[in-house]
A and B are shown apart, each in its own frame.
Chain A
Amino acid sequence: DIVMTQSPDSLAVSLGERATINCKSSQSVLYTSNNKNYLAWFQQKPGQPPKLLISWASTRDSGVPDRFSGSGSGTDFTLTISSLQAEDVAVYYCQQYYSTPLTFGGGTKVEIK
């Protein structure tokens, strides 16, 4: 199974500042045949289901604000919120879909400082 490790577990960022979340996979999730990273990021607010933010490591889903960006390749990935807004308070998860079982990182809680 591919183990997904996120860091930090939580972070507090001032409004308007940058938030950076890291995700590391235990093996590469880059398919060399199509040069795509099988990595997604989700946002989950309390009492709500997760929401897809980014797929293929860097492709924002429809309607996702451009302050959210994903980067990285192979085994190391980053979700960046360029200018934190109050509505961004949530838990963020990375997920690999390179192979079954599909696996998630443990989550990173983002709060306002």
Chain B
Amino acid sequence: EVQLLESGGGLVQPGGSLRLSCAASEFTFSSYAMNWVRQAPGKGLEWVSVISGSGGRTFYADSVKGRFTISRDNFKTTLYLQMNSLRVEDTAVYYCAKDLASMASGGPLTFDHWGPGTLVTVSS
């Protein structure tokens, strides 16, 4: 069964940085695009970013573009999200989510497996 486990969340001051990780197992990691999706406390879901299976293509939500960087290590089967210049409105549970396909030719699809999430709190 697909396993995804996020880590790296915590409390950070506005303007600070944080790096999230998502350890993946039980599937061929390099064959699938991977996403980050977040959910502010008591709110709905917001897609953040996606990276193709090879790592060569990335997309971002406008709300994080220029501040967040998605990457992956296919040897370590781990997904990352480097978050810089954090704002109070970035406070959320961050989920990593496996895509239906690799995104080798075409855009991201939807998410068939999700991790339990990691909470990021941006506050002074």
Contacts and interface: CB of A to CB of B under 8 A. Distances in A.
Interface stretch (A14-22, A49-57, A77-85): A49-57
Contacts of A104: 44-47
Which among B35, B45, B59, B107 has the greatest number of chain A C-beta atoms within 10 A? B45
B40 interface: no
Interface string A31-46: 0000000101010100
Interface of A: 38, 40, 42, 44, 48-52, 55, 61, 93, 95, 97, 99-107
A38 B45 contact: no
A97 B112 CA distance: 13
- A40, A61, A102, A104: residue with the most chain B Cβ atoms closer than 10 Å: A102
Contacts, number: 58
Size band of the interface chain B makes with A: 20 to 34
B112 A49 contact: no
28 contacts: A40-B110, A48-B116, A49-B95, A49-B114, A49-B115, A50-B111, A50-B114, A51-B114, A52-B112, A55-B109, A61-B112, A93-B45, A95-B45, A95-B47, A97-B108, A97-B109, A97-B110, A99-B107, A100-B50, A100-B59, A100-B108, A101-B62, A102-B35, A102-B47, A102-B110, A104-B44, A104-B45, A107-B44
